[in-house]
Every structure is written in structure tokens, then in C-alpha cells.
Structure 1
Amino acid sequence: MDPLDKQLLNDIQWTFPLSERPYLKIAAKHGLSEEDVMRRISLMKQSGLIRQINAIFDTRKLGYKSALVAFAVKKDKLDAVALEVNKHPGVSHNYERDHEFNMWFTLAVPPEGDLKKDLEQMASLDGVIKFRLLPTLKLYKIGVKLDMVNTDPSKLTPDDNVKSLDQKKFELTSRDKDFIRELQKDLEVSVRPFDNSAKNLGITLDELFKKAEEYESLGVMRRFAAILRHRDAGFTANGMIVWMVPDDKIDEAGYKLASFPQVSHCYRRPVYPDWPFSLFSMIHARTVEAANKIAVELSNFVGINEYRILFSSREFKKERVKYFVD
């Protein structure tokens, strides 16, 4: 992977062009040929570095119910429990982390689903000692962008413009579901990659792009972008920093953390007697040393000293939730 590949990855993680010939548009920006851009992106997809290129939707805007779940599992039962949990189609991320609560996964169910019932079935699996349900109480930021160019973890600057999240309710129709099914598909690497989606929907490309832009303006679609495999990209130290924050300081701390590009996710979640951490932030670094350095810098900036980093030691599952599919 050369510097041009890295710059391409930086760009398409955040904004992939919604146009008839998106690879030509990318090529023009970087002074490359369309063929060269397609070749580079094809190779990075084939190697597994680029997981997929597609629309990223807001689960809750689509009416899905979702939560982060922490399981404490007996060590000798961990693999078996993970295997069963992963069978649920709404489990998109599942990691082993270095804590008493050693299995962390996200669970989503469609509008007609019963999250509590599904979770209770999982919690009854042999080896599960206890669990904590940690739904989002407030979202400060979501959006992974792995910086493939800057490798210096000391260059922490709060320069992200945190997108204002539209809280208006989205009234989903059956036609919207058709659009979502198409836009969530992995985009092919071809000269006119959106043609098939438009054809399947019986519309023009302009109509497809207009609908995608509408979804983005409503917050239904967060963005259309490339998703990378963290570890393949060199980001092997993926840390969930959990912060013990007084209630009257949590919004201030949440928005400050969200302003850093090194922070991909930031949420407020409930606390329990055995879990006093109310603020969650995700960082992705190339080494544990770099992640610890980032955490110290963040701690100094927000003025919160009570925190822990829970590193992912194993990835049991990571994939996008497929919405409105049988």
C-alpha cells in the first residue's frame, strides 16, 4: 500500500461520491486515471482491507431497537456463548474485552422485534454469569474514520465538526425499505456502479441520488462510505474508553470528546452498582502504547481522571446489520 492508497482510503471512508461515475470523480481529485483508482480499490477490497462500500444507516431512525450488551462469561464457555450469540442476525459487533465483563456485543431488532426477550434467551446460555444492558441514553458522535496518513498519536487536536443530529421522527414507508435494501448493498467496482440499484428500483440515477441525499439530510443515512477492517488497516489497539463522569459534567465531557477525530463513537449509557461508567468513547490506534497516550491526552483535555480502557482482544463478529431482509 503506497501513500496514494492511504489518501484514497482517508477520502472514501468519509465521503464516497454519489455520481454516475464515482471512481472518475475520485480520480480527478487525485490526478489519477479512473482505471487506476478502480484497480487500487479493487485490490484493497480483494485483500480484505476494505470491508465494503455502502450506505450507513441510523438504526434507531429506521425504527430498530438496539443496545450495547456486556456479558460476564466463564472463560471456558466464552467461545461457545459467542458462537450462539453470533447466530442472531441483529448482532453486528461482538468482542472479547479485558474485564470481568469479558464479552461485549451490539444487539438490534426490527420494529416488531422484542429485544428484551431475545436478550433473556442469550443470557440463559450455559456459562453466562451476569449481564448488563447498556442502551444509548445520549449520542454525542458516531462515525469511524481511520486516519491512514497521520501515524503520530501525539497530534491530538479537537478539530472535528460534530454533525448536528436531526431528532425529527422518520415515517418509514414500504418504498423506503426498497431503497434501504439497495443502498446497503456492497457497491461494485465498475465504471457505473449505481446503475444496477437504479434499475432494480425502476428509477433514474438522479432519483436514486436525490433520495440518498434526502436520507442523509434527515439523519436516516449517516453517510455513504467505505468501511475498513481495523486490524488489516494496522489499527490493532481498539480501545473502548469508559469514563466515570458526574451527571452535571457529562454533556460537556461528551461533546469535548466527540470533537476529537481520534474518537469514533461517544455515548452516554446507564450505570449500575458494579458498573459506574456513564460515558463511552471508542478509539482506534496502531499500538496499545499509542492508545494509552491518546487516553491521557483526552483525559487532560476533558478534566476527567476516572477512566478505564477496555481493549478488544478478540473479534467474534463484525458486520453491518442488514435491514428489512427476511
Structure 2
Amino acid sequence: MEERLITLLQQEFPICQRPFAKLAAQLETSEDKVLDIYKKFKDEGIIRQTSAIFDTKSLGYSSSLVAFKVEDIESSATFINTHPGVSHNYERDHDFNLWFTIAVAPDSKLGLEKTVEVLAKRSDAQEYIILPTKKMFKIKVQLDPRGMGKKKEKVEKKKKVSFDLTPLHYNLIKLLQEDIDAVHEPFAKVVEELGIDYDTLAQEAKRLQEGGYMRRFATILRHRKAGFSANAMVVWDVDEKKAEEIGEKVAAYKAVSHCYLRPTYPNWPYSLFSMVHGKSKEEVEEVVEEIAKEIKPRDYRYLYSTREFKKERIKYFSDAFYEWERRYGG
């Protein structure tokens, strides 16, 4: 039952008055039993967070993956982590040794490139490359406790129902970003603060999903604690004319959680980026070799993370973005 619960939590956490009761019904057990298991996963550090996963671009933020070449990596990482739009920051085994993702607010006075310039100057980066997403093929962090290996899956492409966000939606976005408590009614604070009922909460959360603003409300695991001790950023040098076709093929592998097409530079020929997960380094490399046989790249390489400096959700529409720019933006 624990494996089934882990799978359900990663797929979609119910937004309703008694979500743990709804999960219990699916598992044919009691609400308290599900809560006990959930609390255990939290206490053991297997669950990192359960909250809304929003789409940065749909909310009007500009974002990118960035790679720095630095000498004093601890000092550089510490400063980069001060930016509220930095969600991931890792040391990787490459001359470009510090890799982070950053987002800047829709009304940022600096903008993305200038913000990266400020970060590079203050962290003494010798060299850097900005790698925004040109095309996203997949973003789906869903680890299967039974293993994923070379299995393939169909990547769903959802049609968006566009609409303008209202003040209620902005307030809902702020509240649904928070990690839920392991209690019978974890959304009680949301409905109380917004002065709405649970039906309205569920309806408007669904609208945010249909509009593409929210990808899903779900649980994110700590990979290593969940038994997936290995993951690698694998970058591929592929024929530009076939890049989109190749990206679709790579994204189909279940072990691949992220797959993007990004720009190249004279010192960086790799346009296709993928994150591959496994229960061991050998398992990861077995999947990558299988992918290489299928797509026949010109070249590819592994970028293993050697240290995690930051991994947390961005707090969208937070004053912290404006405070950072006032402090460091000149």
C-alpha cells in the first residue's frame, strides 16, 4: 500500500475538504492509516513537499537554466541562493561547475539577462552561459518505487483554456504554494483566508490547471530518500533539423523526468537536455545507452550533480523579488 500511496501522491493530491479520506477510498483503507503513512514519509524525509506546481512562463515570469564557471564555489552558490527566483542550484562535474535555474518577476526592472549579469559579477564567475527553454518536451517528476528502467510512456499534451487571472486567483496561487500540513483538513486555512467554500476552491484550482497556470497539485519526493540514489543531467548534441523529433523520443522514456531544447554556443554544442533517474548509476547509464542507440546523437555527456546547494519551490508574487532587486540591482 505504501508504494501505491507514493504513486498517487506524485500524480495528483486531491484538493477537497478531506483529501486523505479520498486517497484512503482509492486504497481501500482508512483515512487515519493514510495520514499515518504520510506523516511517516514526511518524518523520514522521503516527502519534500506537497503543494501546487505552477508554470513559471504562464504566470508571466522569465526563466532560464544558467551555468557558471567559478573558483570559490561555496561563496558563489551562497550569493546565488539569495535570489528568490533561484529554485535549483547544483555543483556538477564540468568546467561549468555551478548550475542553477532562475526566474524573474513579470515586472522585474532588471530582467533576466541583467539579473544573471549581477549574479555573475558578485559571484566572480569567470564565464557563464544562459540556457533558456526553446521547447519543452516533458516535465514530469514521478518516481516509480518499482523502478522505471527502459520503460516508455505517452507524454500527454494538454490544451489550455486561456482566461485572465483575477485577484482571487492571485491569492489562491500564493496560498497553494505552501506545503500542506498532515491533518484531516489541510486546506482549511485556504478557504478561511479567502472566504470561499471547498467547492469554489476545487473549481478555481481546476481552472488554474485548465488554463495552464498550475501543472498539478502533488507531492515531490527527495529522490535519494525514496530509493533513487542516482540521477544525471544528460546533454545531447543532435542534428538541429531533427531536434524536435529526437526530443519527443527521449521524453518518452519513463526514467526521463525533464526534457528540453535549449540554445547552443561555440563553447557549448549540446542543445537537448534531459534528466534521467534510476536506483543506481548503472541503471541510469543503461537507460542513457538505450536512448543513444535509438537517437544516434553526434555526442552526449553526463553531468552528475556532486552537491546540492538549493532545491525549493519559488514563492511566486512574493515581495522578496523586489527587495532583492532594490538591494543588489543598483
TM-score by length of 2: 0.92
Asked if 1:220 corresponds to 2:217, the answer is no
- Cα root mean square deviation, aligned: 1.5
1:50 aligned partner: 47
Q: Which of 4, 8, 23 pairs up with 1:11?
A: 8
Partner amino acid, structure 1, of 2:74: D
Q: Which of 151, 166, 179 pairs up with 1:157?
A: 151
Aligned-pair distance for 1:7? 2.2
Partner amino acid, structure 1, of 2:316: Y
SS of residue matched to 1:118:
helix
Q: Any conservation in 2 of the 1:78–1:127 contact (CA below 8 Å)?
A: no
Q: Which moved more, 1:122-131 or 1:50-59?
A: 122-131
Q: Any conservation in 1 of the 2:239–2:297 contact (CA below 8 Å)?
A: no
Q: Any conservation in 1 of the 2:169–2:204 contact (CA below 8 Å)?
A: no
Aligned-pair distance for 1:169? 6.0
Q: Any conservation in 1 of the 2:161–2:210 contact (CA below 8 Å)?
A: no
Q: Percent identity?
A: 44
Q: Any conservation in 1 of the 2:160–2:210 contact (CA below 8 Å)?
A: no
Partner amino acid, structure 1, of 2:297: I
Aligned-pair distance for 1:99? 0.7
Q: Any conservation in 2 of the 1:299–1:305 contact (CA below 8 Å)?
A: no
SS of residue matched to 2:122:
coil
SS of residue matched to 1:61:
coil
Q: For residues 241 and 173 of structure 1, what CA distance do their matches in structure 2 show?
A: 40
Asked if 1:106 corresponds to 2:101, the answer is yes
1:230 aligned partner: 223
Aligned-pair distance for 1:250? 0.6
Structure 1 alignment gaps of length 5 or more: none
Taking structure 1 as reference, are residues 170 and 147 closer, same or farther at Cα in structure 2, changes over 3 Å only?
same
Q: Any conservation in 1 of the 2:80–2:123 contact (CA below 8 Å)?
A: no
Alignment of 1:303-318 (within 5 A): 303-304=296-297, 306-318=299-311
Q: For residues 312 and 168 of structure 1, what CA distance do their matches in structure 2 show?
A: 37
Aligned-pair distance for 1:171? 3.2
Asked if 1:124 corresponds to 2:117, the answer is no
Partner amino acid, structure 2, of 1:32: T
Taking structure 1 as reference, are residues 231 and 258 closer, same or farther at Cα in structure 2, changes over 3 Å only?
same
Aligned-pair distance for 1:175? 2.7
The size of the alignment, in residue pairs, is 317
Taking structure 1 as reference, are residues 284 and 187 closer, same or farther at Cα in structure 2, changes over 3 Å only?
same
Q: For residues 73 and 287 of structure 1, what CA distance do their matches in structure 2 show?
A: 29
Asked if 1:24 corresponds to 2:21, the answer is yes
2:83 aligned partner: 88
Q: For residues 26 and 42 of structure 1, what CA distance do their matches in structure 2 show?
A: 14
Partner amino acid, structure 2, of 1:43: K
Q: For residues 168 and 38 of structure 1, what CA distance do their matches in structure 2 show?
A: 34
Taking structure 1 as reference, are residues 31 and 118 closer, same or farther at Cα in structure 2, changes over 3 Å only?
same
Q: For residues 90 and 230 of structure 1, what CA distance do their matches in structure 2 show?
A: 22
Partner amino acid, structure 1, of 2:36: R
Aligned-pair distance for 1:170? 5.4
Q: For residues 79 and 188 of structure 2, what CA distance do their matches in structure 1 show?
A: 38
SS of residue matched to 1:132:
strand
1:299 aligned partner: 292
Taking structure 1 as reference, are residues 47 and 157 closer, same or farther at Cα in structure 2, changes over 3 Å only?
closer
Partner amino acid, structure 2, of 1:105: F
Partner amino acid, structure 1, of 2:205: A
TM-score by length of 1: 0.93
Q: For residues 156 and 59 of structure 2, what CA distance do their matches in structure 1 show?
A: 19
Q: Any conservation in 1 of the 2:257–2:275 contact (CA below 8 Å)?
A: yes
Deviations 1:268-295 (A, max 9, x none): 0000001000010111222211111110
1:142 aligned partner: 139
Q: For residues 6 and 225 of structure 1, what CA distance do their matches in structure 2 show?
A: 15
Structure 2 alignment gaps of length 5 or more: 320-330
Q: Any conservation in 2 of the 1:7–1:149 contact (CA below 8 Å)?
A: no
Q: For residues 168 and 65 of structure 1, what CA distance do their matches in structure 2 show?
A: 21
SS of residue matched to 1:297:
helix
Aligned-pair distance for 1:217? 1.2
Q: Which of 247, 262, 285 pairs up with 2:255?
A: 262
Alignment of 1:173-212 (within 5 A): 173-212=166-205
Taking structure 1 as reference, are residues 309 and 167 closer, same or farther at Cα in structure 2, changes over 3 Å only?
farther
Q: For residues 298 and 187 of structure 1, what CA distance do their matches in structure 2 show?
A: 37
Partner amino acid, structure 1, of 2:267: D
Aligned-pair distance for 1:238? 1.6
Q: Which moved more, 1:103-112 or 1:281-290?
A: 281-290
Q: For residues 279 and 39 of structure 1, what CA distance do their matches in structure 2 show?
A: 42
